[in-house]
């Protein structure tokens, strides 16, 4: 029996099979054709090493573990290359997950971390979650199309119908749009408003554990300095005791600095 509001729960999609999951997929292509370039031709993996690193981090923040990975890249003919690695890199932005015991709750958690995610169900599919990480810098056209479909509250399939299995909320659209625009921060890092985080340009913020929300560290009286590759900081107050960089350097939270993010 399906949990209320969580969609039907069923067996997991076999790891080496994906149904007509992409706009370009056709029945006639689903027999012998492979689309991925060597060395990925006709191959499949569920290893997290084939995920964009920020996508893997976002997955973990959503409470989804590596054990839930079904496909991180794959060359099933029915997918027409959509699960192949992205152009010029070894990772795919499209990932399939098991649905868990509360599928729509898992879908929501993934969406709030920047995945355009859909719960696929029979009769067209085996039970699984299909997700595209919006913050991936290199994307094939089919995944760009799926992100555009998600932004319209649609299902990312050839019919581009309104998503009804786990309907897409305004909040979820906004979260994915933020990640697509690069507005995601490294948990524990310190950021001036406008540098990956929303807020006042003269205020220093700590990135919270979800990688999306922030907490004010301090208002910078002399302005906030955006620092490449390390925590942002408050500018020193000329002739004063120094504006410092907020509390203990402005970014000593549990994540430990913004790095290159």
What pLDDT, on the 0 to 100 scale, is given for residue 106?
A: 98
At a CB cut-off of 8 Å and minimum separation 6, what does 45 contact? Answer: 71, 72, 73, 74
pLDDT given at position 77: 63
Residues of the chain with pLDDT under 50: 1-6, 11-31, 241-255, 261
Q: What secondary structure letter does DSSP report for 78?
A: G
Closest Cα partner for 156 from 128, 178, 130? 130
pLDDT at res. 1 = 37
What's the pLDDT at 239? 67
- Residue 26 pLDDT: 33
The per-residue pLDDT for 254 is: 38
Tokens of 158: 């050839």
- Select from 59, 102, 163, 246 the least CA-distant residue to 50: 59
Angstrom distance (rounded) from CA 137 to CA 89: 10
Cβ contact 131:44 at 8 Å = no
CA–CA distance, 201 with 207 (Å, rounded to integer): 15
Q: What backbone torsions phi and psi does residue 208 show, to the nearest 5 degrees?
A: -75, 175
How many angstroms separate the CA atoms of 217 and 134, rounded?
28
Residue-level pLDDT at 15: 36
Distance CA 138, CA 136 (A): 6
Cis peptide before 123 (omega within 30 of 0): yes
pTM: 0.72
Please give the backbone phi and psi of residue 226, each rounded to the nearest 5 degrees, phi first. Answer: -85, 120
Query: Tokens at residue 195, please?
Result: 């540098």
- Ordered by start, the domain boundaries in the chain are 27-180, 190-249
Q: What pLDDT was estimated at residue 242?
A: 44
- How is residue 49 annotated by DSSP? G
Half-sphere exposure of 15 (CA within 13 A, CB side): 12
What pLDDT score was predicted for residue 9?
54
Which 3 state secondary structure label does DSSP give 217?
strand
């Amino acid at each position: 029996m399906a949990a209320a509001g969580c969609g039907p729960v069923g067996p997991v999609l076999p790891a080496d099979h994906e149904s007509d999951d992409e706009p370009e997929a056709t029945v006639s292509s689903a027999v012998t054709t492979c689309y991925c370039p060597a060395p990925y031709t006709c191959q499949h993996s569920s290893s997290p090493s084939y995920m964009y690193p920020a996508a893997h981090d976002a997955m973990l923040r959503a409470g989804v573990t590596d054990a839930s990975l079904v496909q991180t890249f794959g060359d099933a003919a029915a997918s027409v290359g959509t699960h192949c690695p992205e152009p010029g890199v070894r990772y795919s932005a499209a990932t399939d997950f098991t649905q868990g015991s509360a599928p729509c709750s898992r879908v929501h958690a993934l969406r709030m971390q920047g995945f355009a995610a859909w719960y696929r169900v029979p009769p067209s599919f085996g039970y699984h979650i299909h997700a595209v990480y919006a913050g991936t810098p290199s994307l094939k056209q089919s995944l760009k199309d799926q992100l555009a479909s998600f932004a319209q509250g649609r299902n990312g399939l050839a019919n581009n119908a309104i998503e009804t299995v786990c309907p897409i909320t305004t909040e979820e659209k906004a979260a994915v749009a933020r990640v697509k625009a690069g507005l995601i921060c490294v948990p524990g890092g310190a950021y001036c408003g406008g540098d990956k985080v929303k807020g006042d340009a003269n205020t220093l913020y700590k990135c919270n554990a979800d990688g999306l929300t922030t907490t004010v560290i301090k208002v910078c009286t002399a302005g906030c300095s955006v620092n490449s590759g390390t925590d942002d900081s408050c500018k020193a107050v000329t002739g004063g005791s120094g504006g410092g960089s907020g509390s203990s350097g402005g970014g000593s939270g549990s994540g430990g600095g913004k790095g290159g993010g």
